[in-house]
């Protein structure tokens, strides 16, 4: 078989998000304001406020926003201390701490949205603030397997093929990681190695695909067909082994002799 490869016609492709942030030797799987322990939340709020007050503009914020959050963080720290000190601890003190914590969290969530939407803020800066890094997608590799293509029938100028996963069984459908197949044809005695000389017939997510050749082609014309798997980003893999058949002169459905390129 001649070696060739197709590019997707007319088109030019989970980076796994870091889910854990290390702080003080512990693993923090959430933003600082969503931590389970009050001590961690208070510590995170203090750190967040300190960094914002030191340079709010670099996070897409203004100084007023940083100052307002700094006040909420200070209030939370004071209420938290009062809620754990034996001499001041009481149901009222605990409730005051909870109220201060809720107010801080509401402000932190709003500020975090602004910070995350600021393109210049890096993942390292987010981690330092106690926030989760941005999620980004990992490159999706193109398919690596060749599809199997079988001739089903020829009716006049209409050719029906069966596309399947050649790595398993002729009865199986698409391999994992693929969404459809591109189908190509060539008219002539010998198919070319240059993919630009093949005609793109379309894409299909089904196993059977019908191709209708031009009525101007006489009966007995030799045609070639091949296919290539594509992924969700329409990146194509290696083409199948081209198969060939001959167009029929009449309208009777016949099973054409199938030739597979050597």
Residues paired with 42 in a beta bridge = none
Neighbours of 11 (CB within 10 A): 10
Parallel/antiparallel/unpaired status of strands 158-165 and 259-260 = unpaired
Q: What is the separation of C-alpha 126 from the centre of its chain, rounded to a whole number of angstroms?
A: 23
In tens, the pLDDT along 81-102 reads 999 999 999 999 999 999 999 9
Q: Quick one: pLDDT band at residue 134, thresholds 50, 70, 90?
A: confident
Q: At what angle do helices 63-84 and 91-116 cross, to 10 degrees?
A: 150
DSSP, collapsed to helix, strand or coil, labels residue 195 as helix
Q: Quick one: pLDDT band at residue 4, thresholds 50, 70, 90?
A: low
Could you tell me the sign of the dihedral formed by the alpha carbons of 215, 219, 221, 225, in that order? positive
Q: Quick one: pLDDT band at residue 6, thresholds 50, 70, 90?
A: low
Q: How far apart are CA 54 and CA 140, in angstroms?
A: 40
At residue 24, the pLDDT reads 41
């Amino acid at each position: 078989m001649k070696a060739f490869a197709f590019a997707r016609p007319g088109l030019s492709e989970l980076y796994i998000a870091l889910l854990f942030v290390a702080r003080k030797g512990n693993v923090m799987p959430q933003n600082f304001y969503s931590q389970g322990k009050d001590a961690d939340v208070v510590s995170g709020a203090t750190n967040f406020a300190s960094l914002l007050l030191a340079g709010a503009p670099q996070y897409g914020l203004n100084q007023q926003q940083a100052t307002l959050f700094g006040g909420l963080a200070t209030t939370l720290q004071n209420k938290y201390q009062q809620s754990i000190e034996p001499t001041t601890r009481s149901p009222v003190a605990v409730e005051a701490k909870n109220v201060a914590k809720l107010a801080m969290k509401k402000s932190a969530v709003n500020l975090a949205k602004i910070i995350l939407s600021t393109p210049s803020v890096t993942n390292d800066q987010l981690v330092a603030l106690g926030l989760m890094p941005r999620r980004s997608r990992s490159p999706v590799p193109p398919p690596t397997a060749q599809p199997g293509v079988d001739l089903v029938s020829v009716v006049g100028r209409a050719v029906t093929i069966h596309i399947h996963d050649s790595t398993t069984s002729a009865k199986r459908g698409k391999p994992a990681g693929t969404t459809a197949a591109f189908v190509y044809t060539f008219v002539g005695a010998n198919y070319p190695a240059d993919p630009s000389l093949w005609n793109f017939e379309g894409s299909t997510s089904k196993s059977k695909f019908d191709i209708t050749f031009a009525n101007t082609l006489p009966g007995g014309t030799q045609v070639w067909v091949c296919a290539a798997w594509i992924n969700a980003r329409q990146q194509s893999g290696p083409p199948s082994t081209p198969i060939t058949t001959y167009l029929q002169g009449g309208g009777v459905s016949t099973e054409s002799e199938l030739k597979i390129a050597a």
